[in-house]
Structure 1
């Protein structure tokens, strides 16, 4: 899914750069990267050294790094589980195609990444039934971290004939934790100067605020966006289900795709008006990913859909473009205005994106070792290592805070080059920022921005309402429903924004075109299957 891939790619690049302010893990032997885990994996015996071939994004780059042999975290990890990892390179451009080729030629690596269950359920089901991928054991008591993942309600629909055939790669612990993954950032200093010291209570309030700021700052853009799919953020204030393009809603006792609902009309009209009123970036149809964020950091736009986490390079860009301006004082998170029911909603997604797979040909001995490795990679202890390094080597605990010990010219990515690209094999670990076990930046501005993100997350989490999504239908796989992933919803909404004429009429014509691409067939299949499974 393009929207999700964009978000997760950004997270991966952020962490891989070694600039994320990570957190420490549980208490452990600080002389060893792996330490003494509380999980069963650490106490299990591994008598033989096994080679496991692993295909993960850009994994080969880490092994090719001149400092690879000094990657203490990786070296301790392989010693802990008595394994040797053979890297199999995949990139963000070829990872899906390579897996298909390997599957067709029976050459799948022992462990490989893909996004079948989340983004291509039809192929996931086919591979499971054809015996291409290996089923996960029913009894996971030996793997407590994996057992926790597979106990989540949102994971249950991923079973095929009662079995799981992958390990979901967790982004957060819960689907409601995505509260800041469709953020609205704005120049709160400009808003205050224009007389607006509180957040907008409606779409009209947002327009008034933005126009007032634009009047004081001629030439700026009112609203830019990270990419076209982030335009859907606006629906949080009218029809929150449509912020996630794969959502289905039940209307008139029938399940339909959210994009087919008449409730979408309000948001579509609002997007058109933002464009015609000169508020929305006029380059929305031709911009590249992150162009809108760059414009915001350069002081060229008042608000932006996107920019969840500030990083060192983004802070540097803002400081250079806005001399003398404190980023922590100038930039704020705007809470979305209430929807028609009076509630403020937050974005919701499955708490995972993409999965880890094993070929059915994998031996039982290798499979058991691989599961032990994966269980540890999914642990909080390893999360601390990958985000923050080794305690008393890369950071220390000072007055209850994790403080970096890295020199100015050091980064975790350079110290542990294999680990930085292997880290995401287990989980994405987006939520570690909010655990309170985070390294505090030595840059006071970055530290303030970091704390603002944590405070805002907690505020929205406690005050706002997660968008209601029924994951049983969301993840339901039927032949026609699986094909809907080829629809370019975000692109078509941009067409509506740019075209002349009544926006709802234009949108209805697009929906008629969708019918010829199987939408009505999907609706029939989904409702039949939902009735069969007792999904209300």
Structure 2
């Protein structure tokens, strides 16, 4: 159906695409007008820029650019060469390209914002080997980029330079709480007369009932209790009610001011015990450790799984709803709800904390100054109001209209799909451009507006707003020592987060007492030098802090993001 008259007041007329301050514009290659910040930049030479990003194979396969890509290329007088990688091969692929001097000009990866210490070592290797180059010292010619680094100044390396362009997720920290959420089949809870769990025992009772008490009423033993969409994130929500600081397997600050991996703490033993209980009760999917993320999502979408540990941002919920609609005749909004976290042992409710940025972009050392400027212009444009609007709503006059008051009308023939799906089908490149520089995770994506209803679906927006509002009003958001977390750690296969996590899974599915198994794991690590490894990381970190300037020292430990 043709959707029109879906008016929005959130788009001010001063931000209309292509309009800029008087005297500050020039013509693009396609005849449009450049934003003011482009004034004075020389785009006369056409440049080819290769861009590495996840799952852009459809864009890479096209022989001709779509209209969104063409618009951006003409604006900046560039040709973009997409390099598609997958989530399973990107680290190894980039390392192979680096070894053969074939890195893309700019590429997205996950190192400094990873919870695995070995990933920060990859970042260090890229710098020390000369694979990537630092950004210019002066970024004032790129106002949105400059503002980003003002907010994320703690991503500056010890040599005073920035090597990574952070991919901003949530500029307001409380929005990061939506990275840990529990989606639940509310209709199953109603069928079994189950109230929202108020503690761990009630949560285990609920997921066990989902698995064993025929919640869908079909008389067949075909349901599962609880699983997580990505195994390495297991417990990100549940642990908030058990041992909150452990919920992302990262390093935490001890009482004496030093830092230790959370999985070495006493609280993590309670996590191990809790997950063994879930596994033995049948509430935790018996195959949780071998299922792919897609398989888990399909379990929930096709009516097999009752509780899905996932995310509650509207975009994530829209992904789930799209899958649900493919498999399920029952309306998503009548069946799916979000649970609020139950209190931790100290009586408080906690919410997740995430880096303001998640993943980052590096620029190859093969890039010269001229191409560097053009790459920074690409990122600046994607961070600007004009760029965000283009990647959210498409082309003005083609996909939407603005009236003189800045109100928006959708021109897309959606056929009951979300506008996200329609735009991605129409413009395959929009997936790259909407996510390369930022995830656009502002409060505007959580507001219950007609634009968001069209973009994500009404129920997805309602659930997202419900969850983040409750977290804001009722939880203590975790603090993280981001300055220490960003500091490069010594590479270690033995003491890596991945290795510890694999040991955790073995304790969940093992036959001996789970806590005793975990204590044996820790004893084994200690015999191999865990305590000395931890001490070395702390010594290196505090030595670097002492070597910094007074201003840098003042920022070092104050970079932990607080909840309010």
Q: Quick check: TM above 0.5?
A: yes
Q: CA deviation at 1:333?
A: 0.5
Shift in CA distance, 403/466, structure 1 to aligned 2, threshold 3 Å = farther
Structure 1 match to 2:226: 223
**Residue pair 2:121, 2:491 contacting (<8 A) in 1 also:** no
Determine whether 1:310 maps to 2:307. no
How far, CA to CA, are the matches of 2:84 and 2:191 in structure 1? 51
Q: 1:343 to 1:390 in 2, by over 3 A?
A: farther
Moved more, 103-112 or 208-217: 208-217
Q: Distance in 1 between matches of 2:448 and 2:42?
A: 33
For the 8 Å contact 2:54–2:85, the answer to whether it is kept is: yes
> Is residue 453 of structure 1 aligned with residue 464 of structure 2?
yes
Q: Is residue 57–residue 90 contact of structure 1 (8 Å, CA) maintained in 2?
A: yes
Following superposition, the deviation at residue 253 of structure 1 comes to 4.5
C-alpha change, 1:97 and 1:442, in structure 2 (3 Å) is: closer
SS at match of 1:310: helix
Provide the residue aligned with 2:368 in structure 1: 363
Q: Which of 507, 521, 531 is the aligned partner of 1:520?
A: 531
Conservation of the 8 A alpha-carbon contact between 1:478 and 1:525: no
Task: Report the equivalent of 1:427.
Answer: 438
Task: Confirm whether residue 258 of structure 1 aligns to residue 262 of structure 2.
Answer: yes
The worse-fitting range, judged by mean Cα deviation, of 212-221 and 181-190 is 212-221
Query: Residues 139-196 of structure 1, C-alpha deviation per residue, up to 9 Å, x if partnerless?
Result: 211111111221224x514414111112112222244422222210112233234334
Q: 1:520 to 1:41 in 2, by over 3 A?
A: farther
CA shift for structure 1 position 258: 0.4
RMSD (CA atoms) = 3.4
Q: 1:527, 1:251 → 2: CA distance?
A: 14
Residue 15 (structure 1) aligns with: none
The 3 A distance-change label for structure 1 pair 417 and 207 is: closer
Could you tell me how far apart the structure 2 residues matched to 1:53 and 1:177 are?
Answer: 32
- For residue 139 of structure 1, what is the aligned residue in structure 2? 138
Shift of 1:404: 3.7
Report SS of the residue matched to 1:112: strand
17, 28, 47: which one aligns with 2:16: 28
Change (3 A) 1:517 1:311: farther
2:189 is the counterpart of 1:186: no
* Residue of structure 1 in register with 2:197 after alignment: 200
2:168 — aligned with what? 170
User: Could you say what secondary structure the match of 1:164 adopts?
Assistant: coil
Is contact 2:338–2:467 with CA below 8 Å preserved after alignment? yes
Gaps of 5+ in 1: 1-22
8 A contact 1:128–1:134 mirrored in 2:
yes
Aligned equivalents of 2:36 and 2:263: distance in 1? Answer: 44
- CA 1:101 to 1:401, structure 2 compared with 1: closer, same or farther past 3 Å? same
- 1:5-16 mapped onto 2 (5 Å cutoff): none
The residue aligned with 1:342 is 347
Deviates more, 1:384-393 or 1:425-434: 425-434
SS at match of 2:535: helix
Report what 2:276 is aligned to. 272
Residue 110 (structure 2) aligns with = 115
Q: Per the alignment, do residues 345 and 408 of structure 1 end up closer, same or farther by CA in structure 2, a change over 3 Å counting?
A: same
Match of 2:379 in 1: 374
Distance change in 2, residues 1:281/1:477 (3 Å): same
Partner residue, 1:96:
91
- Shift in Å, 1:403: 5.5
Task: State how far apart, in whole Å, the 2-side matches of 1:335 and 1:43 are.
Answer: 52
Deviations 1:70-93 (A, max 9, x none): x22222212222222233444444
- Rounded Cα–Cα distance in structure 2 between residues aligned with 1:496 and 1:526: 27
CA distance in 2, matches of 1:43, 1:461: 44
Instruction: Measure, in 2, the Cα distance between the counterparts of 1:517 and 1:439.
Output: 56
Q: 1:46 to 1:260 in 2, by over 3 A?
A: same
> Between Structure 1 and Structure 2, how many residues are aligned?
507
CA distance in 1, matches of 2:105, 2:297: 39
2:511 paired residue number: 500
State the match for 2:246 in structure 1. 242
Assess if the C-alpha contact under 8 Å between 1:226 and 1:307 holds in 2.
Answer: no
Match 1:293 to one of 293, 297, 304 = 297
CA distance in 2, matches of 1:64, 1:297: 30
Aligned to 2:48: 51
Q: Which runs of 5+ in 2 are unaligned?
A: 1-9, 20-27, 416-420, 547-555, 558-564
Is the CA contact (8 Å cut-off) linking 1:171 and 1:427 kept in structure 2? yes
Query: Given the alignment of the two structures, is residue 466 of structure 1 paired with residue 477 of structure 2, yes or no?
Result: yes
Deviation, structure 1 residue 506: 0.6
TM-score by length of 2: 0.80
Cα distance in structure 2, aligned partners of 1:352 and 1:191: 36
Instruction: Indicate how the Cα distance of structure 1 residues 520 and 273 shifts in structure 2: closer, same or farther if over 3 A, else same.
Output: same
8 Å CA contact 1:248–1:256 kept in 2: the answer is yes
Measure, in 2, the Cα distance between the counterparts of 1:360 and 1:319: 45
